[in-house]
Structure 1
Amino acid sequence: MKRRSSSLLFIALCCLAPAVLGSLLHWSMLLWGFMSMVTASGSLLLVMTILSGARTPADPYGSGESEQPAEPTEQPYQETRVIDAALPSAAEGYEFLFSATVWWRPVSDHADRSDHASPALAASSVLSRALEVVQREQPDRASFARYLLEGELSVPLPDRSGRVTAQAADVTLTLAPADRERLRKLNDLRKDEEIWEYERQHERNKRRYLGDDVLKSAGSAVVWWLTRHEDEIEKAVNMIGPLAQISAAANDEEVPELFRHLLVPPVGARNGATVGGPQWGDADQGGGVFDREEEVGVSDRLLLLLTALGLKPDMDEYTVLVHRVVRDLEATGLGEAAKEIRRTLLLTPEGGSEEPEGWPSTEADATEPWASGFPAADGSPFTDAAAGTFTPEPAEDDDAS
């Protein structure tokens, strides 16, 4: 701005100088005007020449700026390989196998000091960065950890010493075949154990539901059965006895007196059939409830048959049939069964013999038809028609013999 004002002042003085000089020398107006124009043009050209010479010429391509010193040329990347390097995982005893292509180059400050240790420094730098990633991953997440490594190792970073810059490509991360098989088995076992645990919990819930709710009492058991068979009212009535037994067994209790007459077989059916016969239940229980879990013997089955036929121990027909069965069993070589029936179903009077009067001796030949000496009672149902070849002899003959 100051230079411009000085230039304008100089041009104005050059224009006024001819006018002042012409008025003093009494020039004509024409000469005075001509001289003013000449001095004005000359001063203007002079000022423009001076200003253009002082200004730096502009470079249209910007080459007028001072050029910066050229940076040194960077070294090209070099390649090295890392193959199956073992890296620990988050699980003890399981290691990842890491492989990659390492690209490295010397840092610019150490470009002139490149030596044979640079590839090792680059590989060490990549392995250290990979270790920070995989040591937090489970061994069964090898595929997922590989993608994390590709992103982490694709950025070139200097090593700890600052001598080389390294990055990795073509990253692979796997487990040893034995570890993969071991993990597969453990995974299958874990899943099977989860299923088994759910099944066991389901079974416990069912037992709790049946024991604490359904079988809490005979009434609740009947209601539960009826809800599942809403249209079978008559069958529900027949199920009251069995459900009462099941409910009592589930609670380790006796069957309530209210339901004992509905049991199958009824309470006392066997105890009332004989005096001194086998007990169907525990003597401490008082009711003599039939124990369904106890194995039924030969004498028990025969007693059921006799009871179904309406025969009682004080009847002659009862004794005759039992003795005949005993003899038949002995004749066929089933002595143990015969002894069991004789011991449990035959009454032995004190000081007397088990066998009725006139019965053939047990020492007789088992192959002989012993039925010829079998005593028969009047009105016995075991006649010739009922017993096949059995024909009782008159009592007089027995006495005569």
Structure 2
Amino acid sequence: MLFAPWPLWAAFAATFAIFGLLLFRTRNTRSQPKGGSLPAAFAFAPAPAADVRATRLPDVLLPSESPDYRFQFSAMVMWSPTATETAESETNYAALAVNAILERARGLTELRDPGHASLVQHELAGALGEMQVDSTKRLLARAESVRLALPGPDQERLDKLAEVRKEEAIWEHERKYEQNRRDYLQHDVLKDPGSAVVWWLAKNDDQVDRTVKDIGLLAQLSSAANNAAIPQTFLPFLSQFTAPDDLFTDDLPTMNGAAAAASTGYGEPDQDGFEAFFNAMGFSHSDPRRRLLARQFAELATKHGRQDVAEELIRRYDPPGESDVNEEGWPDGS
């Protein structure tokens, strides 16, 4: 018995059933790591994994910013051939990868201070951590486990130099401080005996008696500081006011007439140390400060039991009626 041809709808149904079966098998195969083979038209194989290999780069000396110091560098070099190359060729890819990493590392370290090795290590690790094509275009390379340091002796030298620079900075600061003090003393305080006396008076809270005792010493200091002779105006103080107990003696200290005339320029034979002091301070005969100091010296003499000396000072430098006095007995303007 002969079979009659299939109806048209049956043929279409069979075709769709076969297509659905093939599609189901294709999806099932792609979801499994291993499976049966499919026709080439329905196979979707994944791209092969990159062929990444590694080689150890031992300690290598790289240049630094200073020609006398070099960094000690080590890393794990990771490399992979490019798409046009295969790792099975006769090319020494490991050597090319190491050379590529060294070139990249050297370009960075030769611009860095050797004293900052620990900081440069982190910078270098970031720069070498990316896969990059080498100069031959045959492989990609990057570095892991980057280590960078200075050899021990070099690190010790840098540490010593740093300490020396710190000490030198301190010494330079102290030297400038001492130099400023010397300039201040020589060109300001000890510029001349008069400046020295005023400075010493201010330093001792206006203690006139102590300052008067030290006038001779101050005159010597000023002259020595300026490599000059002691002015004749201050010569009487060298012997009469250096000892603490010699401020007030039985009589007012006097000089001979010639020495007095030479020291004061007034030609009066009865000039003494007080007159020389007033002249050295630049107090003219009409200057009220002469009377003020005379009053202060007179009070000191009275405290020391030398009323006669006090009266003589008042008679010579602040005679009654010569100047007006205020309620406290001091010259006006004091």
TM-score, length of structure 2 as denominator length: 0.57
- Sequence identity, in percent? 39
Letter in 2 for 1:151: G
Count of residues in correspondence between the two structures: 209
Point out where structure 2 has 5 or more consecutive residues left out of the alignment: 1-22, 28-40, 243-261, 264-334
- Report the alpha carbon displacement of residue 72 of structure 1 after superposing the two structures with TM: 4.6
- Report the alpha carbon displacement of residue 227 of structure 1 after superposing the two structures with TM: 2.4
Instruction: Indicate the residue corresponding to 2:121 in structure 1.
Output: 146
Instruction: Indicate the residue corresponding to 1:243 in structure 2.
Output: 218
Aligned residue for 1:76, secondary structure, equals coil
Letter in 1 for 2:62: L
- Report the alpha carbon displacement of residue 228 of structure 1 after superposing the two structures with TM: 2.0
Alpha-carbon contact 2:196-2:222 (below 8 Å) kept: yes
Aligned residue for 2:159, secondary structure, equals helix
Q: Deviations over 1:215-262 (max 9, x none)?
A: 111121122222222153311111111111111111111111111100
Aligned residue for 2:194, secondary structure, equals helix
- Among 91, 99, 107, the alignment partner of 1:124 is 99
Distance change >3 Å, CA 107–CA 239, structure 1 → 2: same
Structure with higher Rg: it is: 1
Aligned residue for 1:90, secondary structure, equals coil
Letter in 2 for 1:221: A
Q: Distance in 2 between matches of 1:212 and 1:114?
A: 87
Aligned residue for 1:263, secondary structure, equals helix
Letter in 2 for 1:104: W
Q: Distance in 2 between matches of 1:249 and 1:111?
A: 92
Alpha-carbon contact 1:153-1:167 (below 8 Å) kept: yes
Pairing of 1:1-400 with structure 2 (within 5 A): 72-111=47-86, 114-115=89-90, 117-264=92-239
Alpha-carbon contact 2:213-2:241 (below 8 Å) kept: no
Alpha-carbon contact 1:98-1:173 (below 8 Å) kept: yes
Q: Distance in 2 between matches of 1:67 and 1:249?
A: 112
Task: Compare 131-140 and 114-123 and name the one that shifted more.
Answer: 114-123
- Report the alpha carbon displacement of residue 163 of structure 1 after superposing the two structures with TM: 1.0
- Give the alignment's Cα RMSD to 1 decimal: 2.9
Q: Distance in 2 between matches of 1:70 and 1:214?
A: 98
Aligned residue for 2:84, secondary structure, equals helix
Point out where structure 1 has 5 or more consecutive residues left out of the alignment: 1-58, 268-285, 288-401
Letter in 2 for 1:162: K
Aligned residue for 1:108, secondary structure, equals coil
TM-score, length of structure 1 as denominator length: 0.48
- Report the alpha carbon displacement of residue 185 of structure 1 after superposing the two structures with TM: 1.2
Alpha-carbon contact 2:65-2:111 (below 8 Å) kept: yes
Distance change >3 Å, CA 70–CA 216, structure 1 → 2: farther
- Report the alpha carbon displacement of residue 74 of structure 1 after superposing the two structures with TM: 4.0
- Report the alpha carbon displacement of residue 168 of structure 1 after superposing the two structures with TM: 0.8
Aligned residue for 1:209, secondary structure, equals helix
Q: Distance in 1 between matches of 2:126 and 2:202?
A: 64
Q: Distance in 2 between matches of 1:257 and 1:68?
A: 122
Q: Deviations over 1:98-139 (max 9, x none)?
A: 011111111111126544611111111111111111111111
Q: Deviations over 1:296-342 (max 9, x none)?
A: xxxxxxxxxxxxxxxxxxxxxxxxxxxxxxxxxxxxxxxxxxxxxxx
Distance change >3 Å, CA 236–CA 126, structure 1 → 2: same
Q: Distance in 1 between matches of 2:46 and 2:84?
A: 12
Aligned residue for 1:87, secondary structure, equals strand
Higher-RCO chain (CA-CA 8 Å, sequence separation at least 6): 2
- Report the alpha carbon displacement of residue 76 of structure 1 after superposing the two structures with TM: 2.9
Letter in 1 for 2:83: S
Q: Distance in 1 between matches of 2:199 and 2:166?
A: 35
Distance change >3 Å, CA 74–CA 220, structure 1 → 2: same
Instruction: Indicate the residue corresponding to 1:386 in structure 2.
Output: none
